[in-house]
Structure 1
């Protein structure tokens, strides 16, 4: 039931954004801004555009998306690199928040152990809200046969609008 309610809410939010000509349209060209909060490195501002995020160092990987049951080529920034550039040395975890206020928490040990990507593109194209953008979390090395990846399945996240750097 919660999944259906969440889907309905996301659909309404996307439709509202598309009708107003705001974020959904802007996200498709990399100009949508992600809000940044918490323990940010000196000189970092409270937001970053998708294009600016890509300047942190892009990685590309073909990965199987277990939620959509298909392989696609994802391009984005690894969480480990994101924290190194944008966060202070004291950052121990990240909290990502979606447009519907759904939150996922990542511990430092997770991004040090797994390749966790903040994907900005799918198959070479920026991700619009209607495709679950502007950025999403993917695990490039996902293996459905490994228990540790099965446990990470709930952390595949989309429509991220905020990243909090936690001490």
Structure 2
């Protein structure tokens, strides 16, 4: 390799390493969390959520034909990571639908904040990018209007009270 090529390669590498790390843009933010949490408001990206570890739930729902496998972060794990202090969470969807849910219900019933359905990230047009999913088939008592109304899709924010 010639000296000119080596210097050009080193220069390009130095530029790449010196480039500032790109902060998350508003388009990267999937979830905003506020209220009674440690450290105040948090804006979370897909990478932030996936870093908490993903769990799968295979279940039938009223919104899809047949059993689907949903993959996302356990809400219990998310709440633990955020050190939430609230007993209630107001979940708001992109269309401003909102519901208040006892945090204990989401934890004890093993709900997840799903990002994937059958291996693919969920689009806004298909209940994504985030969808609260309960394991409906694991507990027949979850098949109720109460829990269906708590299964918010297109989740954009959570506020803990």
TM-score (norm 1): 0.71
- Shift in Å, 1:72: 1.1
Q: RCO higher in 1 or 2 (8 Å CA, sep ≥ 6)?
A: 1
8 Å Cα contact 2:35/2:41 also seen in 1: no
- Shift in Å, 1:111: 2.2
- Shift in Å, 1:146: 2.7
Whether 1:74 and 2:100 are equivalent positions in the alignment is no
Whether 1:104 and 2:102 are equivalent positions in the alignment is no
- Between structure 1 and structure 2, the one with the greater Rg is 2
Structure 1 runs not aligned, ≥5 long: 1-22
Q: 1: distance between equivalents of 2:127 and 2:140?
A: 26
The answer for the alignment partner of 1:12 in structure 2 is none
Q: Following TM superposition, where does structure 1 have runs of at least 4 consecutive aligned residues deviating by more than 4 angstroms?
A: none
Name the CA shift for 1:122/1:148 in 2 (closer, same or farther; >3 Å).
closer
| RMSD (Å) for aligned C-alpha atoms | 2.2
TM-score (norm 2): 0.73
Name the CA shift for 1:105/1:117 in 2 (closer, same or farther; >3 Å).
same
Aligned residues: 135
